[in-house]
Amino acid sequence: MFLPLLLILLCYATPGVAAENLPEKLHEQGRWQALLHINQGTTWRNRGRSYVDDEAFFLNDQGQRDARSELTASARALAPAGTEARCRFPARYRFLKQQLDWPQDGGLAHCHDYLEWRQAMPDSRVVLVFPAAYLNSPSSMFGHTLLRIDSDRDEDGVWLSQAVNFGAAVGDDDNSILYVYRGLAGGYPGYFSIVPYVRKIQDYAHLENREMWEYHLNLNSEERAWLLDHLWELQSIEFDYLFLDENCSFRLLELIDLARPDAGLMSDFRMAEVPVDTVRNLQQAGFIAGREYRPSKAGELAHLIAPLDAREQRLALVLSRNPDKAREAAYQNLPEATRHQVARVAYEHLRLQQRIGERDPARARDSLALLQLINTHKSPGQAPLTPPPPPEEGHGTKLLSLAGGIENDNGFGELQYRMTYHDWLDNPAGFLEGAAIEVFNLRLRKTEQRDLQLEQLDLVTVRSLAPRNRFMKPVSWYVNGGLDRRFIEDKRQLTRQIQGGPGLSWRTGPVQPYVFAAARAENNSAHNPLVSTAAGLSTGALWYAKHFQLGLAAESFYFHNDDRQYRTSATINLPLGRHQALRASLQRDGGRERAATELRLAWRYYFD
């Protein structure tokens, strides 16, 4: 009787003994650190601890800050056969089984929910999907990244695919301003979600304006299994969500780092991580096996419109509103190839309008009539749309610049640092022309008469020029907030300010003129009253030439206290390869009592 009882006690004691005798450095292994979301490239807030902000993820009270304690607790919980902890943490169990050579004891066979989920999940391919930036949505200003997991049972690799997304849990009542503030300062929890890819694509309400890039990752079957097992562990687990570091890009890099920890994806210190940085990191680490481009619906329509002259474009617009106009001479007298092109533009324009608005039976009938009209003509053929430079081939998202110049008769030197991302006149390759997003744009200036002083600090600047044409009438807009120097009475004073407004923009070849109706509020101790408000106008034009970018700008504000400010400028940017540029500018800045003219030359260096 004593011997069987002793054997039973030894069996139950074995897991505890195994847990206490773990290898000395096992908790420092890359994959274990990745399973806990501890990495060497952590941001300043998370040095030495897990990014997970959910107690349910840890089996030890100190697990968030102590990887060894969490390893010990995991070994104790996962070693016994048939334990529920194995079903909760299949990736941890797999790691410990491999490292500690645990016996074959049924493994995860009792985990019916997990096994059913794994059976339903596709696992043949992993694709990083990059919907490009869309400035009219605060959550998409920098673009977005998600993973698509494909099934080999789906020839197109989409209809059975699942999308892996990380995003903020935003309240229904949060407006865009609150969303931007909490996204920058903190306040939103973030969660992983897995949904059918087709449904995720439908979530992009403005997909008609968003290009998509797809990057096929060369993960093998074992690496894909690690990724999927860990996704199971992350269901309903809370993280912090912030725009500039703990965002979708950072979280997806952590996932892929778990699949292949020796690649060192998370080894560098990270700050202001934006979606394009994810693509670049994966490319540099050798993860990307192929790339595909999917143009936006608006881009496809613009490509179809390009061969038509003004009269033919007007006719296409008329047809999109009334397909019966195809019976009239204006359409019938066109060459057959042109009739086909006009009808196709009308059809695609109408389809685009249907995507934007609610379904309308009358529009559906018109759409069918136009499709039938297209099929009565022989297609002339058209060269496919040429993909633009991919986002990963653009300049670095951070900027360091050295400048010198003359303000009136005084020389100055200047240092500039921009945390992220891109301005109107930076090299547009890989970026959206007419779009600018700048975060923490700092300029320090030293003059012959003055010590080093703050010249400008833009906390956030967003400018969106959406060109208008016969077929689309978008509204442009801009907002800027921070510190800058303006003339107050007869002195240039540092003011705290916020300004912005709606506008209109057009595009003629490489030239893009614009105009904004603007409002401004600023504060300075010299102000009376303390906060001054103004209305004004901002106008200009951008010229995106092949080898340079040119900008002309003028703005004027009239304040309620009868003060006036104006600024005019001409700027040329000359890219020197991908990561350097020379920029020269001539600027006139003034108020009612005094003005200054500034000539400035800057060397600009872009990096990640």
Which tens digits make up the pLDDT trace of 503-555?
Answer: 999 999 999 999 999 999 998 877 667 888 999 999 999 999 999 999 999 99
**pLDDT of res. 594:** 83
* Residue 249 CB neighbours (<10 A): 25
Q: Look at residues 461, 143, 514, 476 and name the one whose alpha carbon lies nearest to residue 296.
A: 143
Which amino acid would we find at residue 247?
Answer: N
Q: What angle do CA 272, 233, 240 make, to 5 degrees?
A: 30
Stated pTM of the model: 0.88
Q: Is 340 helix (H, G, I), strand (E, B) or coil?
A: helix
The token pair at 564 is: 């006036």
Q: Write down the pLDDT at residue 110.
A: 96
* 552/329 Cα distance (integer angstroms): 45
Handedness of CA 487, 488, 492, 493 (dihedral sign): negative
- The string of DSSP letters for 271-285 reads SS--HHHHHHHHHHT
Number of Cβ within 10 Å of residue 482's Cβ equals 19
**Whose CA is closest to 31, among 223, 190, 221?**
223
| H and E: helices and strands count for the chain | 16, 19
Q: In the prediction, which pLDDT does 21 show?
A: 76
Sign of CA dihedral 271, 273, 278, 283: negative
Positions in the chain short of pLDDT 70: 1-20, 40-47, 135-140, 154-157, 171-179, 181, 183-186, 202-208, 269-272, 356-358, 527-528
- The per-residue pLDDT for 358 is 67
DSSP H helices, 170-211, are 176-185, 197-203
pLDDT of residue 270: 64
Determine the pLDDT at residue 204: 60
CA-nearest of 491, 562, 499 to 529 is 562
Q: What single-letter amino acid sits at 151?
A: S
Helix (H, G, I), strand (E, B) or coil at 289: strand
- Is the torsion defined by CA of 463, 469, 471, 473 positive or negative? positive
Contacts of 4 (CB under 8 A, 6+ apart): none
Give the helix ranges, DSSP H, for 204-335.
Answer: 221-233, 248-259, 275-284, 297-305, 310-321, 329-332
CA distance 412 to 409: 10
280, 240, 259, 283: which is closest to 42 by C-alpha? Answer: 240
At a CB cut-off of 8 Å and minimum separation 6, what does 494 contact?
454, 483, 484, 485, 524
Query: Which H or E element spans position 162?
Result: strand 162-168
pLDDT confidence of residue 500: 94
The whole-number pLDDT of residue 354 equals 80
Edge-to-edge strand ranges of the sheet holding 288-294: 239-241, 188-196, 162-168, 146-150, 125-131, 212-217, 288-294
Q: What ranges do the domains of the chain cover?
A: 2-113, 121-294, 300-375, 394-607
**Which CATH code of 2.60.260.20, 2.40.160.40, 3.40.50.720, 3.30.930.10 fits the domain covering 394-607?**
2.40.160.40
Structural tokens at position 449: 């008469």
pLDDT computed for residue 5 by the predictor: 45
